[in-house]
C-alpha cells in the first residue's frame, strides 16, 4: 500500500470514499504529468539535431550545392537566408536585426511559458508541441546570433571553414542555414490562363527549410488540429478534485 501511495504522488489526487476508506486515487483519465526534464530532453534533441545538420552542410557544401537523397523529390540543397522560416525575407539588414531580436524575445518568453504550463499540468500533447516550437525558435536564433562569428562566408566556389580568424558578419547578423528540399512535383507549368503565374514553372514543395523550421511547423499545426482536445484536458484539471460515493458501510477504520 505504501509503495502505491508513493507512486500516486506524481499524479493529481482525488479522495474516493469507498467502503468508508479514504484512498488517494489517480484521476480517472490516468493522464501522466509532463515533467520539466522530459521537456528539456525534447528541446535538446531537436536543437542538437538541427545544429549538427547545419554544421555539416555549412562545412561540406558549396552555396547552392545540392545532393539527391531519394530521387529528385528529396534533396539536401544548401542555401542561406537572412529572414524568416522557409527563406522568407524581411526588410534587409534592419529587418534582420529586428527579426533576430524578436526571436530572442520569443525564446525568453518561451522559457517562462513552458515553465508555467508544466506547473499548471497542461495536456501532455500541448506541452510537447510548445517545446517543439520553442526548440525551433532557439535553433534558428543560434544561427542568427553566432554563425556570422564562427563561420567563413559560403559561396559557389568556396566551402566555409569553422572558427576562422574573422567571421563573415557581426553578432546578431548571422544567416540561417537551410537545406531540406522536397520538390515532389516538378517539371510542371501553370496553365496559361492562370493570372500572374500563367505559363511559369510550377514546383511543389518549393521552399527550402531546416529542422528548426520543421519543428516549429509541426508544433503549430498539431496545436491547431488538436486544440479542442488540448483545451478539454486542461479545463478538466480545473474541476473539483474531490469525488465521494454515497456508500454507507459500518466500518470505522480509515486509511489516510
Q: How far apart are alpha carbons 97 and 159 in whole angstroms?
A: 26
pLDDT, residue 199, reads 80
- Shared domain check, 48 and 15: no
Clarify whether residues 254 and 222 are in a common domain.
no
pLDDT at 87: 52
Q: Within 10 Å of residue 137's Cβ, how many Cβ atoms?
A: 21
Check whether residue 21 and residue 42 sit in a common domain: no
Q: How confident is the model over 216-238, as a mean pLDDT? A: 83
Q: Give residue 27's pLDDT.
A: 40
- The C-alpha atoms of residue 223 and residue 231 are separated, in whole angstroms, by 10
- My answer on whether 74 and 165 are in the same domain is yes
Q: What is residue 31's predicted lDDT score, i.e. its pLDDT?
A: 55
In this structure, what C-alpha cell is assigned to residue 126? 500541448
Q: Name the catalytic one among 64, 143, 178, 187.
A: 178
More confident of the two residues 46 and 194: 46
Whether residues 21 and 57 share a domain: the answer is no
* Residue 178 annotated in active site: yes
Domain count, the chain: 2
How many CB atoms neighbour CB 58 within 10 A? 24
Model pLDDT for residues 112-157, shown as the tens digit of each residue: 999 999 999 999 999 999 999 999 999 999 999 999 999 999 999 9
210: nearest Cα among 127, 141, 115: 141
Residues 3, 91, single domain; the answer is no
Catalytic residue among 143, 187, 213, 251: 213
Q: Are residues 12 and 80 in the same domain?
A: no
Give which of 114, 167, 139, 111 is closest to 45, Cα–Cα: 139
Same domain, yes or no: 83 and 137: yes
**pLDDT band of 98, cuts 50, 70, 90:** confident
Strand partners, 15: 24
- Residue 208 · residue 181 · CB < 8 Å: yes
Do residue 166 and residue 213 come from a single domain? yes
pLDDT digit string, tens, across residues 54-97? 999 999 999 999 999 998 889 999 999 876 555 555 556 676 77
Judgement on whether residues 64 and 163 belong to the same structural domain of the protein:
yes
- Residue range(s) defining the domain that contains residue 226: 35-238
The answer to whether residues 53 and 36 touch, using CB atoms and an 8 Å cutoff, is: no
Q: Given this model, what pLDDT does residue 242 score?
A: 44
Q: Which of 2, 35, 47, 52 is nearest to 212 (CA)?
A: 47
Q: For residues 248 and 233, state if they share a domain.
A: no
Q: How far apart are the C-alpha atoms of 74 and 209, rounded to whole Å?
A: 12
248 and 199 within one domain: no
Examine the residue annotation and report whether 213 is marked as an active-site residue of this protein.
Answer: yes
Amino acid at each position: 500500500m505504501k509503495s502505491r501511495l508513493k507512486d500516486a504522488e506524481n499524479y493529481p489526487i482525488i479522495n474516493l470514499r469507498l467502503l468508508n476508506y479514504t484512498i488517494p486515487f489517480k484521476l480517472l483519465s490516468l493522464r501522466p504529468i509532463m515533467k520539466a526534464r522530459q521537456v528539456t530532453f525534447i528541446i535538446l534533441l531537436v536543437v542538437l539535431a538541427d545544429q549538427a545538420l547545419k554544421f555539416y552542410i555549412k562545412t561540406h557544401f558549396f552555396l547552392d550545392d545540392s545532393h539527391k537523397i531519394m530521387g529528385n523529390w528529396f534533396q539536401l540543397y544548401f542555401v542561406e537566408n537572412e529572414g524568416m522560416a522557409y527563406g522568407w525575407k524581411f526588410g534587409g539588414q534592419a529587418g534582420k536585426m529586428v527579426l533576430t531580436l524578436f526571436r530572442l524575445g520569443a525564446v525568453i518568453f518561451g522559457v517562462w511559458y513552458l515553465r508555467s504550463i508544466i506547473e499548471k499540468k497542461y495536456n501532455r500533447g500541448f506541452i510537447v508541441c510548445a517545446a517543439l516550437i520553442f526548440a525551433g525558435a532557439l535553433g534558428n536564433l543560434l544561427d542568427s546570433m553566432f554563425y556570422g562569428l564562427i563561420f567563413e562566408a559560403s559561396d559557389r566556389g568556396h566551402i566555409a571553414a569553422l572558427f576562422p580568424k574573422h567571421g563573415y558578419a557581426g553578432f546578431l547578423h548571422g544567416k540561417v542555414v537551410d537545406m531540406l528540399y522536397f520538390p515532389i512535383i516538378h517539371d510542371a507549368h501553370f496553365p496559361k490562363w492562370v493570372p500572374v503565374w500563367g505559363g511559369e514553372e510550377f514546383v511543389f514543395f518549393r521552399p527550402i527549410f531546416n529542422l528548426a523550421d520543421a519543428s516549429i511547423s509541426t508544433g503549430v499545426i498539431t496545436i491547431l488540429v488538436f486544440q479542442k482536445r488540448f483545451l478539454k484536458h486542461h479545463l478538466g484539471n480545473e474541476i473539483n478534485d474531490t469525488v465521494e460515493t454515497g456508500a454507507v458501510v459500518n466500518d470505522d477504520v480509515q486509511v489516510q
